[in-house]
Structure 1
Amino acid sequence: MELLHAIKERRSVREYSPEPVDDALLRSLIDAAVQAPSAINQQPWCFVVVKKPELLAEISEKAKAYMRKASLTAPAHPFRDMFNDPKFDVLYHAPVLVVIGTEQPTDWAVEDCALAAQNLMLAAHEAGLGTCWIGFAQHWLSTPEGKAALGLSASCFPVAPIIIGHPRRKPASVPHKAPNIKWIEA
């Protein structure tokens, strides 16, 4: 697959089959992730791979509860009904969650982990898998309880919770805004 084609065709997937994802394939995705550039070549990332269904369900429920408390104080919050729906799964029933985090609080660790996440998502797309960065899980995973659920130290900071699985269908293409470019030339 050509790189630009992969960049243009990759979409966030929110519907997965129950088919498991092979461990060797997951390892190859992480190998692609660590090829990302990092500031001063610090490579601050760490990875937690969650395949245990009970833990995936717990993360979904705890993240929903956290979001209900933290974000839904506004009377017309756009996600109120979704977070109150007992059928809504924050992780969209994906069979795998890879959390990219950092144990090293460097000035650019978050950006470094985001670059690794993009590599992982593009490599997954090339392998025929779907991915989605789950922002709804990010805040709860950063709590002491969330870190403990993942077996992370108190100093670790989870940056990118990425779900991975076999898509039930290919998501539709979405329109993109024209870039806002300001040229400064000599």
Structure 2
Amino acid sequence: MEVLEAIKTRRSIRKYTKRDVPDEMLNKILEAAMCGPSAVDQRPWHFIVVKNRDMLEKIPEVHPYGAMVKDAPLAIIVCCDTSLEKFPGFWVQDCSIASQNILLAAHSLGLGAVWTGVYPLEDRVEGIRRLFQIPDHVIPFSVIPIGYPAEDPGTRDLFDPERIHTEKW
């Protein structure tokens, strides 16, 4: 899939078929996540791949908007290892880019995914941290369920020329 097509046609997918995602596809998605730029190349990210059905079903217990995770064959938890930060605070942008790359890579492979935010909401951060035994110096940023889509929300044209300013506001 061509990049601009992937960007323009990617949608949040919250319903998945029962079909497993092959490891080759998962590895391509994780590789794409790690190809994103990061502040001074700090690459503070870590990824937890969750395929265990019991663990997937527990995520909505600590994430109020994570119900769709129960039906996905897998989820990726994007995390920041603060011990890898060279410039504190930029990890949020770094993990955002990694999360977006996961979404685009999944879409380009014919899979569906949705970004469910964890950080900066402390109850979600602590809930995911406890559930996955994440050390204190690592911050869970997002949970991204991935699978073969069982829905087609169609496409949308989100281009809005009213949001473009030239030279000044």
TM-score, normalization by structure 1:
0.79
**Residue 162 of structure 1: which of 119, 144, 169 is its match?**
144
Instruction: Give aligned-pair identity as a percent.
Output: 34
Whole-Å Cα distance in 2 between the matches of residues 152 and 41 of structure 1?
23
**Partner amino acid, structure 1, of 2:156:** V
**Partner amino acid, structure 2, of 1:181:** I
Write out aligned runs for 1:1-186 (5 A): 1-64=1-64, 89-91=67-69, 93-104=71-82, 105=85, 106-135=88-117, 139=121, 140-143=123-126, 145-176=127-158, 178-179=160-161, 180-184=163-167
Whole-Å Cα distance in 2 between the matches of residues 125 and 17 of structure 1?
15
Whole-Å Cα distance in 2 between the matches of residues 182 and 162 of structure 1?
33
Deviation of 1:92 after TM superposition, in Å, equals 5.6
Which segments of 5 or more consecutive residues in structure 1 lack a partner in the other structure?
Answer: 65-82
**Partner amino acid, structure 1, of 2:73:** P
Contact 2:53 2:70 in 1 (8 A): no
1:100-152 Cα deviation digits (max 9, x unpaired): 110125320011011011111111111100010013x5544410x42132131
Which segments of 5 or more consecutive residues in structure 2 lack a partner in the other structure?
Answer: none
Deviation of 1:10 after TM superposition, in Å, equals 0.6
Q: Runs (4+) of structure 1 moved beyond 4 Å?
A: none
